[in-house]
């Protein structure tokens, strides 16, 4: 058996949670392979709205196995709040969710360090979510991290040592803080975590594959936020690309099957960082309003712009995408003209590839297509798509070289249309 991978191709917020929930019935296992509670995956069905931060989006589908992999960083306090809310709404977790012993823990002092580092940067701040993600991955790489498995082995000693080291750093930064409440809720989270099944997830995933089980790997954030291939330094602290599924779960590269790449029909970004196709006019405001473009975790307003095919082609290449999924098509229902960035103009020269740096002096070059001017939210099959929308899909497929297999026409699970279905 192969593992299939589902990930975002833009700057995050593409709608991965909904798609995982839609695809999960086809899989036995859903495994999250990187990121932390800075990612919010929103799912809507049966009149309810859920936001998942660390728990895989397959948790709502029957008796599927859900795995938090070794590449994830986990905040016990936020995990406890998320899990208790889900259980209160009637979704049992303890028999469905397994947590890798090798996943790293976000400590209370990691969150304070995150705020202190951002404050020290002043105008050059990256715009983090303040959840302690960066400092936790920093400790992981510098071999100073505390892992989920450590809860079972000399935990108090390991936590105290890490806390003392962080407090020395904060002292050097002259950053004032109060750890009392953060630490209290965090330790309560640690006790809550002990109720769950800790596993050697690399063995579990590979044994499941050996037993013929189908596995879907779920990524967080988006490709353009990848620590290596994104718009550095305005990126997250992990590998959000397909290769991250291998390192974040212990899966060999030759076990990767389908790679589902998710993108919006337009483009958004949260926080600081370059965004060549960003709009600063009424059109951008309209996209924000119609798309409800506010962060599901932070509540921050998202910056909006036309789709960037230069960046999207780059993402398709890096990830080896085999199937595309387009979200929020309905947000563009009322626009007369639809634009798509097909090249960049840099220092007067037009280029069609993603360069080393897009921070300054990058001007988008647009192609224009007619809008479809029809409400698509009630459509149930591709046969109902207007001619102009089909032309937009064909244009995108020609540019990207990959078929758009699924189109979303609204936030609900039911507002999902599969294309190229076999007779």
Active-site residue set: 13, 41
CB-neighbour burial class of residue 210 (10 A; exposed 0-12, middle 13-18, buried 19+): exposed
- Which residues pair with residue 98 across a beta bridge? 67, 197
- Which residues pair with residue 321 across a beta bridge? none
Q: Please list, in sequence order, all residues whose beta carbon lies within 8 angstroms of the beta carbon of residue 414, skipping any fewer than 6 positions away.
A: 45
Alpha carbon distance 369, 391 (integer Å): 8
Q: What single-letter DSSP state applies at residue 89?
A: T
DSSP states of 26-55 as a string? G-SEEEE-SB-TT--EEEEETTEEEEESSS
Check: CB of residue 332 under 8 Å from CB of residue 268. Answer: no
Helices 180-193 + 76-88 axis angle, to 10: 60
Q: Residue 4 is encoded by which pair of tokens?
A: 């299939």
Element (H, E) at 326: strand 323-327
């Amino acid at each position: 058996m192969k593992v299939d991978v589902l990930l975002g191709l833009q700057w995050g917020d593409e709608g991965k949670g909904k798609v995982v929930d839609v695809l999960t019935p086809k899989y036995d296992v859903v495994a999250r392979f990187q990121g932390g509670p800075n990612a919010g995956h929103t799912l809507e069905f049966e009149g309810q709205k859920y936001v998942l931060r660390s728990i895989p989006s397959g948790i709502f589908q029957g008796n599927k196995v859900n795995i938090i992999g070794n590449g994830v960083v986990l905040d016990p306090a936020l995990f406890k709040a998320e899990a208790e809310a889900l259980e209160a709404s009637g979704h049992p977790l303890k028999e469905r969710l397994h947590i890798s012993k090798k996943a790293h823990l976000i400590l209370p002092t990691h969150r304070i360090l995150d705020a202190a580092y951002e404050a020290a940067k002043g105008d050059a701040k990256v715009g983090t979510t303040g959840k302690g993600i960066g400092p936790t991955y920093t400790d992981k790489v510098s071999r100073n991290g505390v892992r989920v498995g450590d809860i079972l082995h000399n935990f108090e000693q390991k936590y105290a040592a890490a806390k003392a080291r962080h407090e020395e750093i904060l002292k050097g930064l002259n950053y004032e803080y109060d750890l009392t409440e953060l630490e209290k809720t965090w330790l309560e989270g640690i006790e809550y975590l002990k109720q769950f099944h800790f596993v050697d997830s690399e063995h579990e995933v590979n044994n499941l594959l050996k037993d013929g089980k189908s596995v879907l790997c779920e990524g967080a954030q988006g490709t353009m936020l990848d620590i290596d291939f994104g718009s550095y330094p305005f990126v997250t602290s992990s590998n959000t690309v397909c290769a991250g599924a291998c390192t974040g779960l212990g899966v060999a590269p030759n076990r990767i099957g389908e790679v589902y790449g998710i993108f919006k029909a337009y483009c958004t970004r949260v926080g600081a960082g370059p965004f060549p196709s960003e709009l600063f006019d009424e059109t951008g405001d309209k996209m924000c309003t119609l798309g409800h473009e506010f962060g599901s975790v932070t509540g921050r307003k998202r910056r909006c712009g036309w789709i960037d095919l230069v960046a999207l082609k780059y993402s398709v290449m890096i990830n080896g995408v085999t199937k595309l999924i387009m979200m929020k098509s309905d947000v563009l229902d009322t626009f007369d003209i639809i634009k798509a960035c097909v090249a960049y103009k840099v220092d007067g020269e037009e280029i069609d590839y993603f360069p080393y740096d897009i921070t300054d002096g990058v001007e988008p070059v647009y192609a224009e297509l007619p809008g479809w001017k029809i409400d698509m939210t009630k459509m149930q099959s591709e046969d109902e798509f207007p001619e102009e929308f089909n032309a937009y899909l064909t244009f995108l497929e020609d540019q990207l070289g990959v078929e758009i297999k699924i189109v979303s026409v609204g936030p609900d699970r039911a507002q999902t249309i599969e294309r190229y279905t076999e007779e």
